[in-house]
Amino acid sequence: LNHPQVSALLGEEDEEAFHYLSRVEVTEFEDIKSGHRIDFYFDENSYFENKALSKEFTVNEKGDPVSKSTEIKWKAGKDLTKRTGQTPNTAGKKRQHEEPESFFSWFTDHSDAGADELGEVIKDDIWPNPLQYYLVPDMEDEEGDDDDD
């Protein structure tokens, strides 16, 4: 949640679902050029049935990067990729706060596996050194009153 690129993709409900995330694993295949898999393990939650969600990046026969992923078995009314709460544009508002597309849409997006920035960030930045993001102070605490200091 503290990685700048990842947090930009998370809506409020995504963050709630991520409270159930128990671990993340990145598996490099035997031949590093043949790809890798990212596994997200979740505790029992109110969003989906899956215990694990995976996205796998490989190279097809032509040498082109491709990806495939676990189909998310959403619980009734909990599909975070089908957002309905978009606020209509109001004349008085100067800036429209728009909820980002759900992080979980990444599992269904296989349009350009070779340019999957999120997959690269997880594999090359978060996975090798997660503590730098885990130990970041909570941003909301930092913006609070300094009276307690």
CA distance 17 to 107: 15
13-17, 47-51, 80-84: which range is least confident on average? 80-84
State the chain's mean pLDDT as an integer: 82
Q: What's the pLDDT band for 107 if we cut at 50, 70, 90? A: very high
Contact present, 108 and 81 (Cβ < 8 Å): yes
In the chain, where the domains are located = 4-76+101-132
Contact present, 59 and 65 (Cβ < 8 Å): yes
The two structure tokens encoding residue 110: 């296989």
| Model pTM score | 0.77
What is the per-residue pLDDT across 90-103, written as a single tens digit (0 to 9) for each?
A: 444 444 455 568 89
17-21, 24-28, 104-108, 110-114: which range is least confident on average? 110-114
Helices (H) and strands (E) in the chain, counts: 5, 4
- What's the topology of domain 4-76+101-132? Arylsulfatase, C-terminal domain (3.30.1120)
What is the per-residue pLDDT across 5-39, written as a single tens digit (0 to 9) for each?
A: 888 888 889 999 999 999 999 999 887 678 999 99
